């Protein structure tokens, strides 16, 4: 039972809104769409989306104002859609707090990739003082606790740090040297095999079938990564 990130699409051109929504839904997101600025504020307040895809040119309240009011109410990542490349410089200059910008026309596939990147970045930032969730894997930083579904795991401090590092950036590949660095602060080439031993222990505790890991994956010739939920 994986969590579906909620994405609110705010776009007054129905064909574009529908194309974006359809692609996001196909990629596993929970999507709602509205077609003007005021409706965007109302829906965001009621539905609490995890990201807003926001067109700049909207009837009623424009995208700048919607973004400003969204951030004032409760900060939420925003991917802004613009009609022209040169608009982006203007928008960045205004400092309205969007996380990324895309110029029309764009491919829905590219939009989904941008959405994922923003959500990952946001999750990583939140992880500094909070809880990381990747699918059913929950890494609770402050309490140093890890659970997978209903199972609570007893990890050593090193195993915990290693898993937390991977889980904060799902899908990102870490070399053994990088992981050693994250765990101990200093990387020595000769100790990289120690990471393999830690990963083996983590898998033994975490994975239903350690021989066929689905959380911590080996990237052959490089290192490890946390499976992207």
Contacts with Ca ion, residue ranges (CB under 5 A): 12, 55, 57
d(C-alpha 215, C-alpha 151), whole Å = 14
**At its nearest, how many Å lie between Ca ion and the CB of residue 37?**
10
Match 């402050």 to its residue by tokens.
142
- Give the nearer residue to Ca ion in terms of CB position, either 12 or 192: 12
- Residue pair 177/192 in contact by the 8 Å Cβ criterion: yes
**Cβ 57 to Ca ion shortest distance, Å:** 4
Residue nearer to Ca ion on the CB measure, 55 or 159: 55
Show contacts of 108-114: CB within 8 Å, 24+ apart.
108/19, 108/20, 108/22, 108/23, 108/24, 109/23, 111/20, 111/23, 111/24, 111/53, 111/79, 112/23, 112/24, 112/27, 114/79
| Residue 59 Cβ vs Ca ion, minimum distance, rounded to whole Å | 8
Shortest distance, position 155 Cβ to Ca ion, whole Å: 49
The set of residues, in sequence order, having a beta carbon less than 8 Å from that of 53 and lying 6+ positions away, is 7, 8, 9, 10, 11, 20, 78, 79, 81, 111, 115
Helix (H) or strand (E) holding 175: strand 174-175
Q: How far is the CB of 84 from Ca ion (least distance, A)?
A: 12
Question: Phi, psi at residue 104, to the nearest 5°?
Answer: -75, 150
Residue closer to Ca ion, measured from CB, 76 or 81 = 81
Cβ at position 53, least distance to Ca ion in Å: 12
Given the complex with Ca ion, which of 9 and 226 has the nearer CB atom? 9
Q: Measured at the alpha carbon of residue 161, what is the angle toward residues 158 and 164, in degrees to the nearest 5?
A: 145
Least gap, CB of 142 to Ca ion (angstroms): 42
C-beta of 54 vs 179, nearer to Ca ion: 54
Given the complex with Ca ion, which of 86 and 189 has the nearer CB atom? Answer: 86
Q: 12 vs 181, which CB is nearer to Ca ion?
A: 12
């Amino acid at each position: 039972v994986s969590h579906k990130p909620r994405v609110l699409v705010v776009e007054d051109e129905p064909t574009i809104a529908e194309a974006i929504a359809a692609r996001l839904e196909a990629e596993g997101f929970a999507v709602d769409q509205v077609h003007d600025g005021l409706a965007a504020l109302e829906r965001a307040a009621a539905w609490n989306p995890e990201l807003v895809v926001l067109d700049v040119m909207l009837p009623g309240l424009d995208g700048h104002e919607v973004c400003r009011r969204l951030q004032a109410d409760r900060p939420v990542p925003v991917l802004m859609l613009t009609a022209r490349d040169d608009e982006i410089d203007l928008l960045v200059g205004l400092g309205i707090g969007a996380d990324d910008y895309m110029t029309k026309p764009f491919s829905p596939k590219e939009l989904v990739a941008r959405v994922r990147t923003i959500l990952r970045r946001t999750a990583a930032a939140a992880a500094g003082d909070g809880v990381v969730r990747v699918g059913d894997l929950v890494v609770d930083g402050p309490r140093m606790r890890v659970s997978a579904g209903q199972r609570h795991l007893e990890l050593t401090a090193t195993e915990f740090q290693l898993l937390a590092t991977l889980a904060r950036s799902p899908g990102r590949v870490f070399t053994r040297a990088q992981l050693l660095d994250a765990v101990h602060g200093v990387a020595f080439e000769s100790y990289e095999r120690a990471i393999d031993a830690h990963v083996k222990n983590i898998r033994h505790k975490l994975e239903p079938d350690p021989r066929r890991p689905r959380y911590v994956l080996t990237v052959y010739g490089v290192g490890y990564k946390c499976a992207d939920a």
